[in-house]
Amino acid sequence: MKVPYAGGKMDPEHFSALSLERQKAISCSYASLLAMNVIHRLEALNGLEKFALYIDYCAEVLDLISLKELTIARYVFAPENGLTDQLRTRKVAITNNFVKLKKGGGKGLTPDKVLERIALNGANDLKLIAAADIVNNSREQFNFGIIEHDVWIATSDDKLYEFCCACPGYMRRERGGPLARYVETHTDIKGTRYWRDSIEIQQRRLEERYFAVDREREMDSIVQSAFDIEADLLNGKADDYFRLRSWRSPRVMHN
């Protein structure tokens, strides 16, 4: 639900200034969106190469592949070939919310600082949406029957509003529940193999990890990974870190 901006000015947040609990809550999204934005600007790579690089980072560094951020990256890296009007609307809404700041939002910032702010804003948006989706798809049993929740997000953020409109969730569990906005494959799109090939990469990596993944892993290591990639970004090392997949080399140390 779109609401008017109430006015006033808030100082931008920084990941390092958040409480440990908040860092743990958004660290996967923050690190993932930082990675996605750095990879997105690597012009030498095509969309499928960017998607493969992104999923390599999530699997091998974060040791956690989140369907939400993975799907967002899949849209962001997608070529324009064969897009339907509906799919183009979705790609534009996702790109605007997770790769761009609102007009004037980056004033006085370096490109890397802009990217840092984009990723943190996006991580906070995903946390808000996830909370609303989970409650919206839950039910409470009372003596007089079952109550289904109807949750609305009120925002003055145009980009978040457009994203929620273009990528709706559904209340009905049989239609995907809280993950409904993240499960479309678009493998029927003509003019490019990107959608088919990217979903094949996704399925293969998820199947490879199914029996090997540590389901009791603590979030502290992901918080540290978020700090590591943030440091590389602000020190001008992030592009090479991803371009070379430097995490595969034991000689690479984070400052």
Residue 209 confidence (pLDDT) above 50 = yes
- What is the rounded average pLDDT for all residues in the chain? 82
Distance from C-alpha of 215 to C-alpha of 75, rounded to nearest angstrom: 27
What was the pLDDT predicted at 158? 74
- Average pLDDT of the segment spanning 203-229: 86
**159-177 pLDDT, tens per residue?**
777 777 777 654 344 445 5
DSSP for the chain, please give it: -B--------PPP-GGGS-HHHHHHHHHHHHHHHHHHHHHT-TTS-HHHHHHHHHHHIIIIIS---HHHHHHHHHHT--STT--HHHHHHHHHHHHHHH-PPTTTTTT--HHHHHHHHHHHHHHHHHHHHHHHHHHT-EEEETTEEEE------B--HHHHHHHHHS---S-GGGTGGGGGG----TT--S-SHHHHHHHHHHHHHHHHTTTS-TT--THHHHHHHHHHHHHHHTT-HHHHHHTTGGG-TT----
Where is mean pLDDT largest: 7-11, 79-83, 212-216, 249-253?
79-83
How many alpha carbons lie under 13 Å from residue 163 in its C-beta half-sphere? 24
What was the pLDDT predicted at 172? 44
Q: Output 168 or 1, whichever has higher pLDDT.
A: 168
Range with the lowest mean pLDDT among 111-115, 173-177, 204-208?
A: 173-177
Range with the lowest mean pLDDT among 16-20, 98-102, 224-228?
A: 98-102
